[in-house]
A and B are shown apart, each in its own frame.
Chain A
Amino acid sequence: MNVLVYLVPLAIGLGALGLAGFLWAMKTGQFDDLDGAAWRAISDDDLPDAEDKNKK
């Protein structure tokens, strides 16, 4: 059962990491606009502008 000495802190540590990530996401406003975020995921803003594309 000595393995618990490593595993339990590891489990809690991973959980804490998740919590830290959640709090960070909140602090940087990522929960402020969930509707917009859903659309941004499929927007093409990482591509060059539409006009540029036509030129190519």
Chain B
Amino acid sequence: MTETQDLSHFVRFPAEGVAAMDLVVEGVHCGACITTIEKGLARESGVRGARVNLASKRVTVEWSEGELRPEAIIDRLSSLGYPAYPFAAAKLDNVEAAEERRLLRCFGVAAFGAMNVMLISVALWSGAADATGWATRDFFHWLSALVVLPCVGYAGRPFFESATRALRQFSFNMDVPITIGVTLALAMSVVQTLQHARETYFDSAIMLVLFLLAGRYLDQRMRRRTRDVASNLAAIKAETATKLNADGEARETPIAAISPGDLVLARAGDRIAVDGIVEDGRSEIDQSLVTGETAAISVGPGAMVYAGTLNLAGALRIRVSKAAEGTLLDEVNHLLERAIEQRSSYVRLADRASRLYTPVVHLTALATFIGWTLLGLSWQPALVIAITVLIITCPCALGLAVPAVQVVAASAMFRHGVMLNSGDSLERLADVDTIVFDKTGTLTLPQPSLANRDDFTPEELALASSLALASKHPLAKAVAAAAKAADPLAAHEFPGQGVTVFHEGKRLKLGSPAYCKAEAEAARVAAQWPDASLIAFRGPERAVVFAIRQAPRPDAATVIAGLAHEGYAIEILSGDRQEAVEKVAHELGFTRFAAGLKPADKIARLKALREAGRHVLMVGDGLNDAPALAAANVSISPISAAHLTQAQADAVFLGERLTPIAEALHIARKAKALMIENLWLSAIYNLIAVPIAILGLATPLIAALAMSGSSLLVTGNALRARKAKARA
């Protein structure tokens, strides 16, 4: 039975006779890497071209169809020293990329318009038209209209569309006053031009659109880079299933390339990747991820199995009914997503401010208009003043105050290895006062390690690890990793008990202590390593028991101490055994911990904390933590976790260390402080600017200067979010 990867799913055909594939490449970081990869691939016969994208760490390779197997490209790249993984862009990635390009295009058009109109406006302000009469001034105004109207019509669409969407749902967002302001200003300017007036506001309108687009584009770019990293990780740990072809050949195939009706193989210890019906084989299935039921159920031919469940015992052949999309796991995900939506009763700072602010701006503008009309001014100058009020107030205060900080903070977090999944998680992180940790895989490293190396000889370990390679049990994997055994023994696996083989005339066994008849030894080791999980090995001479421990993350103790010092209430909620949790809690300095909890218990505890008025951050990675993560105010997951929790948490962090969590909290707090500061700055700016505008003293030049000045002030202030200090 040969096992190769089926790559056909990833190959595109951009032109006749040309095949292309995108790959995520690890370890690309500078210009030398680009040259090495591109030249190295170009030497491969059949390759037409290779192009590295350094920003997204991907390479696109094109070759003449049929002259090269796609596997050869991966081999070539790995021989160059760059492990590569095939990559197929998800639909959402393409949507985000298209949105980014669209914003950039709009920005280009707005910049073009703004530059040309400013050219004309400066001439007008400097009095060029006064010397030559109204004909020249009108000519300039018409020119401005000619440039600005189509430019705003094109470049303003992101705002207009968003405002229309909001209004259709009878709600307000920031784009509503922007749209009203811009539209009114343009309409008014056209009327003014027709009436040979002195002032028009084409320049203000286009500058406004330009500034706002710059902010939107930067925000979108940040978000897409985060998404790029996430999709790269997804590609690197791509989910595959073992597909059985008609001739019985087994091929590791990406889930996306499996269709209903295919036959897949699930070995003991595998997570089942598809929904389907068992054709052949008997086993026990852990459905806790999907149904929350922790007791294993036994399945046989004809039984239905679901994606996301764990095959505990024997190998199963499964006829696929649903893969990739529409599986029960997907539906559970959707349920969780809905739960998150309902949870977010949290109102974003920006929304809160705009809820307060938007009506005030509109009412002030309206009152100004009515006021001036009542004072006997004709409607046109009155409307001009009202528009000035609208323009001078709305964009800078809310358009930039909060988003600018968000962009800077998100990129600062990104540098520390934290990626935000939801937009308001930053503010929710800032409010946290209680941190709840899961133990397994969160405080400890996800990979278990061997603890009692001194209890047995290297030969025994080497033999045991060769045997362990034949098993898929996580404890066996830890044994295998401990000795880095090279060649597996052709062992036979007894599901749920262990593996066994005849080796040099002796029967070797690896499995549960009962299976290896090593209960006495197991009791002794258990006493010595109370927090460890045990796996036994019956060797040629005697039985030994391995204690498998999960090591705490290297900086866990420092980070926890730091967080406690900063005044956070911290505790552990774990589903693990009391002794195991107690040990870790003492080691890391936790005073409050609870062990042996079921997911429902964790949720109850989190609820109790929230009802006590706490803002809870849940840090967890276990699969059955997904509901608990949703039950907290805000959540963070290590990205090595299964993808379900990844999508579930508000933020994810990379790497082996816990420091990113502390950093994320610092940055979030700093960011929130800066947001509030910025809102105050713009409030003060408005307190000064609005009366001037209402009194009709603001000329377009002053409005433009005030607008850019306050934007710069707010943006500059936002940049301070880069440097966040720990709370003393």
Contact = CB atoms under 8 A, between A and B. Distances in A.
Contacts of B132: 1
The B interface is mostly helix, strand or loop, or mixed, namely helix
B152 to A, nearest CB: 15
Given A8-B143, A19-B109, 19 more contacts: A4-B136, A4-B139, A8-B120, A12-B116, A12-B147, A15-B112, A15-B115, A19-B108, A19-B112, A23-B105, A31-B101, A33-B56, A35-B54, A35-B55, A36-B52, A39-B30, A39-B31, A39-B34, A43-B35
A33 B139 contact: no
Contacts of A34: 55
A16 B115 CA distance: 11
A36 B34 contact: yes
A47 to B, nearest CB: 11
A22 B116 CA distance: 16
A36 B147 contact: no
A22 to B, nearest CB: 4
Interface of B: 30-31, 34-35, 38-39, 52-56, 101, 104-105, 108-109, 112, 115-116, 119-120, 132, 136, 139, 143, 147
Given A16-B112, A26-B108, A33 B54 contact: yes
Contacts of A18: 112
Nearest to A19: B112
Contacts of B101: 26, 31
A11 B116 contact: yes
A56 B674 CA distance: 61
B566 to A, nearest CB: 35
A26 B55 contact: no
Contacts of B147: 12
A52 B54 CA distance: 27
A40 interface: yes
Contact of B34 (A1, A26, A40): A40
20 contacts: A4-B136, A8-B120, A8-B143, A11-B119, A15-B115, A15-B116, A23-B108, A26-B105, A26-B108, A31-B101, A33-B56, A35-B54, A36-B52, A39-B30, A43-B31, A44-B35, A45-B35, A45-B38, A45-B39, A49-B39
B634 to A, nearest CB: 31
A19 B34 CA distance: 30
Chain A facing B: main interface SS: helix
A6 B188 CA distance: 29
A43 B38 CA distance: 12
Given A8-B143, A12-B147, A23-B105, A36 B55 contact: yes
B133 to A, nearest CB: 9
A49 B54 CA distance: 22
Interface string A1-31: 1001000100110011011001100100001
A21 B143 CA distance: 22
Top 3 nearest A-B pairs (CB, nearest first) are A39-B31, A36-B54, A19-B112
Contact of B55 (A19, A22, A33, A40): A33
Contacts of A49: 39
A26 B104 contact: yes
Which of A16, A32, A34, A42 has the most C-beta atoms of chain B within 10 angstroms of its own C-beta? A32
Contacts of B54: 33, 35-36, 39
A36 B53 contact: yes
Nearest to A5: B139
A35 to B, nearest CB: 4
Contacts of B56: 33
Contacts of A35: 54-55
Nearest to B147: A12
A4 B142 CA distance: 13
Contacts of B143: 8, 12
Contacts of A32: 53, 55
A16 B146 CA distance: 13
A19 B35 CA distance: 32
A15 to B, nearest CB: 5
A4 B138 CA distance: 13
Nearest to A39: B31
A49 B55 CA distance: 25
B108 A22 contact: yes
B406 to A, nearest CB: 21
Contacts of B104: 26, 31
B145 to A, nearest CB: 13
Nearest to B28: A36
A6 B132 CA distance: 17
A52 B492 CA distance: 56
Contacts of B55: 32-36
Contacts of A45: 35, 38-39
Nearest to B120: A8
A12 to B, nearest CB: 5
Contacts of A26: 101, 104-105, 108
A35 B54 CA distance: 6
A35 B58 CA distance: 12
B642 to A, nearest CB: 31
Contacts of A11: 116, 119
A40 B31 contact: yes
Nearest to A41: B31
Nearest to A8: B143
A43 B112 contact: no
Contacts of B120: 8
A34 B143 CA distance: 35
B128 to A, nearest CB: 9
A16 B108 CA distance: 11
A19 B105 CA distance: 9
A39 B132 CA distance: 53
A24 B136 CA distance: 35
A15 B120 CA distance: 13
A33 B136 contact: no
Nearest to A37: B54
A43 B32 CA distance: 8
Nearest to A36: B54
B248 to A, nearest CB: 44
Contacts of B53: 32-33, 36
Nearest to B136: A1
B40 to A, nearest CB: 11
Contacts of B112: 15-16, 18-19, 22
A18 B457 CA distance: 74
